[in-house]
Amino acid sequence: MRKMNNSGRCLLVILVMIGALKMFNFCGADLTDGFTLVPLTESNFELKKPYDIPLDQCYSFVNGVHYLWVYADDKPHDPGSHTQPRTEIRIKGLDYSSGVWQFEGYGFAPNGTSGATVAQIHGAAQGATTLILRIYDGDMRYYSRDLVATDLYDKWFRLNIIHNVDMGMVTVFIDGVQNFQVKDEGPGDLYFKCGVYAAPTNISYYMESRWRDIKIYKH
């Protein structure tokens, strides 16, 4: 067996230290350290809702909390659309295609809401979305597949989504803990959304989520 020379050992030590520093950034420090807060105004919050009902029948904003709800038999957001019903906040004016971006918000899913997308990254090289986070029976899943978090009904949870476009990686944190990581779907016209958007199947009749303290960061 050939032995590792001194330069090889040094390189190995450096790589280990870099890995440790990255781990410290995610686990030992605030997730927003090293990021710059992007100021948001009311114009950055674009609401998508069933096209045939007034806004106050699917959305309210009370004491700093966005309440968003929809019914399974509601119309889509546009008369020409064949998508599922939704009431969502689309972060407008901050579309991105490169760099490292972060969504932070406190979410709440009331008991009974199921089959509802509560947060997403819209846009991809192929397909419509890079990330879909859905609530099913109180658990959060990546689309309808990988388990991201459990037991989220009737409690506020802090959601952080970090999208490193240049590295092609999306990382999801719940209450400051890394719960999920996945390769993204390639570059595109990307932006964050939150609220309720019914899944194609296995949905509750009534779906609701609540959001507060929504922030966007850029590295």
Q: Which residue has tokens 């509750």?
A: 204
Cα 191 to Cα 87, 129, 163, 176, 187: the distances in Å are 16, 10, 10, 22, 11
Q: Is the pLDDT of residue 209 over 60?
A: yes
From residue 208, alpha-carbon distances to 3, 26, 130 in Å are 61, 30, 22
> Residue 18: pLDDT above 50?
no
Segment 63-88 shows an average pLDDT of 97
Residue range 134-157: mean pLDDT, rounded: 98
Q: Token digits for 105?
A: 């918000």
Total Cβ atoms within 10 A of residue 101: 24
Percentage, residues of the chain above pLDDT 70: 87
What's the confidence (pLDDT) of residue 126? 86
Residue type, 140: M
On the question of pLDDT at 219 being above 90, the answer is: yes
Model pLDDT, residue 9: 52
pTM equals 0.87
Alpha-carbon span 101 to 184, nearest angstrom: 13
The more confident residue out of 25 and 76 is 76
Q: Is the pLDDT of residue 143 over 90?
A: yes
Q: Given this model, what pLDDT does residue 66 score? A: 98
Average pLDDT, integer, range 193-207 = 98
**Does the pLDDT at position 173 exceed 80?**
yes
pLDDT range class, residue 4, cuts 50, 70, 90: very low
Residue 101's pLDDT band (cuts 50, 70, 90): very high
